[in-house]
Amino acid sequence: MKRKARKLPMFFLTLAFTMIFFTGTAMQVTNASATEVKDASREEVLSLKDVYKDYFLIGNTVSPGDLTDSAKYDFMKFHYNALTPENATKPDSIWPNATGNPSFTAADKMLTQVKADGFYTIGHALAWHNQSAGWPPSGLNYTEARASLQKYISTVAGHYSQGPYKLNTWDVVNEAMRDNPENPTDWRKALRSDINPIERPSRWFDAYANGGNGWEYIYDSFLFAREADPDAILYYNDFNDEEIPNKAIAIASMVKELNKKYANEHPEANGRKLIEGIGIQGHYNLRLNVNNLEEVLKIYSETGLEISVTELDVQFNGTSSEVQPTKEQYKEQAVLYAKLFMLYKKYSDNIERVTFWGVADNNSWRSTGYPLPFDSKRAPKEAYWAIINPEAYLGLEELPPKLTSFKFGADVFNVEDKKEFDVNVPTGVSSIDFSAANVAHKYDDKVDVSVKLNPASGAVSAGKPAVATVEIARKENPNISTKYTINFGHMTGEWEKDQNYSDTGFRSSVNIRFSDGKSKLKLFQAFYNKDDGKQAMLNSKEFKPLPKHTGGRLTIQTDKSIDPDDLKNLTLKKSLWDQNWMPIIPARVKDFNTPENFWRLAKTIESGKTYIVVSSNSSLALTNRNVPSIPATGGVTNAKRGIAGTPVTIEDGIIKEPKQIQDNMRFIFKESASPDPGPFTKAKGYTGYTMLSLVHGGLVAPTILWRDLSNDDTAPLRTDTTIGDRALDRAVWFNTGIDPKTGETTLFSHTGSSHYTYALHGNESGFVGQGGTGPLGNYTDNSRVKLYEYVSNYLYEDSKSLGIKISLAPVERIVKERDAKIPVTAEVPDGSKAVLVKDGVSVATAKFAKGKATISVKGSDVDAGSNYAVVINDGTKILGAVILPVVTVDKATPLATVEKLNGKQNRLKVSVKELHSDGSTENFSEEILIKNNATDVYQVGPYKVYVETKGNDKIRNCYIVKE
């Protein structure tokens, strides 16, 4: 694996560069320092690979024809040190027909040359749903598909594992994930299959699913590639992972699980991972949110894998071969490229390579979007100058000040390049005190540091962290600052969705935050019969403490999957406890006959949230698929091109059918400003949204829903191309407010300058825009829609017990420093043990006989500052547990009465009533026969009570004797 040289301080590294004039092919070589880069004449073009030689490789694509174009190839050798065959190593190019033989000649000749010229080379791609018409052959079952996959990968990857054309890296699996999975940690359900997405499903998945598990082709692909080429770095490569984190979370979950599986099955690998890299394709447009991309880089960095940007380009929105970008747009593109490369430099310890997808605009598959740093003549565009020195281009020659560390309690946190931290707060602390005095920097008194706490009191409670926003800026330039977010919280967890898998069994997972660094966490799945409520199965796992102040994902599974019919007769309660048998979070209870996750009628719209849009007229869900014509029926005035609809069945505000929602039925609503809103402004109560569907058909670039130009009452709708910013009035959708009873609203776009208003209108054939130049009210009544949001409906309960039903009555608590006998009743086999544990350590045990056991505990073992539980096991596994509270005695009140009997005898009744710290009470009493006028000390339960009587019905004194 290539090792990068460490970076020198910014603006002081030495760069080797060459001066090149693009009026010809002659080149002159010279040198310059980084400080000269920002002042360089725009006739001086620096080598991109040299500018970034201390950060990462700079790559591009290569095709056989490039080697015969000497000027182009010289240009490539000058700027790049890594090359990816654009098409030559894809299945359709190298082995289009599985019944024939592979043809390596063209790729071999090309790769032999580029390897001889010193390029790092990447094979692209082995397992893919696209450009792979012959693989897998149709009609295969699982066994045949696995053999076919092994044949293809071992042949192709094996061929390029040696010789003058040996490849350094392979994109083994390409684009296997759906674009916006609802439950991203469930990566199996996030994969492309025959159901999702309807465009370009994975045929490898479907072939494996014919008699096996569809998802297993992912692991097999990497396994076969490792066997065929032990030296190659193996990558998973994908796109559209930057808008929302779901896809990135699914990818990260997948690679971590498969690498763990490989480590368990192949100890001879000595820790080398099976999947060693994640590729972010980087097919962007100018609406990219760079902050979202940083979240993706964080997610991937946490996997410990190297990252590469594998197919970078940034296209304009709304351009074409006839409509070229303006000067202002070129600058906008440059600014985005500058932000990207600043971000890549920030994460360069994790990033191995940045590859552009195309040498120049005319070489790009997105050529009408002018997406690359060089124009069709290979002359540098504004974006190039931004890339070679992004800080200077963005006006950041003076870098913002940074913190070096901060303190909390006895811990010191080194900040380095991190901007967000999770800090554990001890459970006994209910509020934190954090101010500028807690942070350290190296700027003496030349900076201002501000700290804002939310809530301002610093209050911390279970599941509700306090958040400190720290900002540091130079006093003479307060606009250039660095912000940090510090989350202070008690250790907690968040449950993930359960899944029943045929390969790993029924699985439950929980995400931990704010680890205290010492708790060994115990995770349980308890299954109960629905008819009698008795435990059917309990499985558990204890985990080593997570590092302090960190988070992690804990997972357990049954030994095998559970039959779906059996699940219908079970409920599940999953619990998380620490080593002291105290629950961390409430237990989640699941009824398998009730859906946990579903699409429900929404009563609000939130920016960044995903919705399904359903026409009230037709009960069709808006679906990102172009329809040539929506006929003039059902309220549509003129037949126009439109967007498809999918029938849905709705009961009680919940979508019941289809069971599996297609990706292209889901739209992300993102708050956006219209350039020409007319009266529909924020000030007047209107919020605009773009509607983005991430699933791609013919385009990788996510496109938003917009209405085309129209001169009548019906406007065509489109998602198949991008729309320019100046025309966003036709892509920003307002709403009339959601009716609180029906959930109905009207989504409409408006162009203020032309007075055109078009409502999103659905009939039985699909969706168009219906409207005109009249008042909004003319179009709202017949163009009503409902929005549906994805929700989770879980039942929670505070955990005081788990597993089998355990009764401790009548002793349901123990008292500080008091001996006790604890009766335990449970339906367990004879010989099972009931163990009293104190802070996780056994202090007393008893064996069961006929469902009963009695634990004797000494008062010296009963401490109010400790946690107690009764745990039952059969010698090999835990059967159940119940918390046993410890109380202190707040008050003990004695009472005595005397009753005259025959002769000189009286009956004395002495009692003591205890009031406990939890508000409970307990009574002790004794009856004693006495003579008249008795005085004595009597033992009443654990108390000695002095009682003095006078006469046959008088109590002169009654009090507890202090020992």
CB 622 within 8 A of CB 645: yes
pLDDT at 31 (0 to 100): 33
pLDDT of residue 932: 84
| Euclidean distance between CA atoms 537 and 282, whole angstroms | 47
Crossing angle between the packed helical segments 216-228 and 142-159, to the nearest 10 degrees: 30
The whole-number average pLDDT for the span 816-844 is 95
- At 696, the pLDDT band (50, 70, 90 cuts) reads low
How much is the CA Rg of the chain, to the nearest whole Å?
35
Examine the pLDDT at 3 and tell me if it is beyond 60.
no
Q: Is 808 exposed, middle or buried (0-12, 13-18, 19+ CB in 10 A)?
A: buried
Q: Are 946 and 955 in contact (CB under 8 A)?
A: no
Q: Which two tokens stand for residue 725?
A: 């910013």
Residue 175 has pLDDT above 50, yes or no: yes
Query: Partners of 524 in the beta sheet?
Result: 540, 575
Which of 311, 352, 382, 914 is catalytic? The answer is 311
- Give the lowest-confidence range in 40-54, 323-337, 848-862: 40-54
Which range has the worst mean pLDDT, 165-174, 226-235, 738-747, 809-818?
809-818
- Please give the Cα distance from 395 to 639 (Å, whole number): 52
User: What is the residue-wise DSSP string for 136-171?
Assistant: SPTT--HHHHHHHHHHHHHHHHHHTTSSTT--SEEE
Percentage of residues in the chain having pLDDT higher than 70: 95
Can 926 be counted among the known catalytic residues?
Answer: no
Quote the pLDDT of residue 701: 60
Q: Which two tokens stand for residue 580?
A: 């002291």
- DSSP string covering 620-642, please? EEEEEEEEEEE-S-TT-SS-EEE
13 pLDDT tier (thresholds 50, 70, 90): very low
Candidates 175, 276, 332, 352; catalytic one = 175
- Asked whether the beta carbons of 488 and 462 are under 8 A apart, the reply is no
Per-residue pLDDT tens over the stretch 869-891: 999 999 889 999 999 999 999 99
The average pLDDT across 256-263 equals 97
Cα–Cα distance measured from residue 828 to residue 851, given in angstroms and rounded to the nearest whole number: 6
Question: What residues have CB less than 8 Å from 3, skipping those under 6 apart?
Answer: none
Pick the closest to residue 125 from 236, 201, 218 (CA basis): 236
Alpha helices in 555-679 (DSSP H): 564-567
- Looking at residue 199, what is its pLDDT? 72
Q: Say whether the peptide bond before residue 810 is cis (omega within 30 degrees of 0).
A: yes
Res 143: pLDDT: 98
Strand, helix or coil for residue 75: helix
Give the burial string for 73-105 (b: 16+ CB within 10 Å, else e): bebbbbbbbbbbbbbbbbbebbbbebeeebebe
Separation between Cα atoms, residue 491 and residue 809, nearest integer Å: 32
pLDDT at 226 over 90: yes
Poorest-pLDDT segment among 4-13, 361-370, 687-696, 741-750: 4-13
Helices 246-265 & 290-301 angle (0-180, nearest 10): 10
Q: What is the pLDDT of residue 42?
A: 65
| Residue 470 DSSP SS3 | strand
Reply yes or no on whether 606 is catalytic.
no
pLDDT tops 80 at residue 28: no
Average pLDDT for 490-509: 93
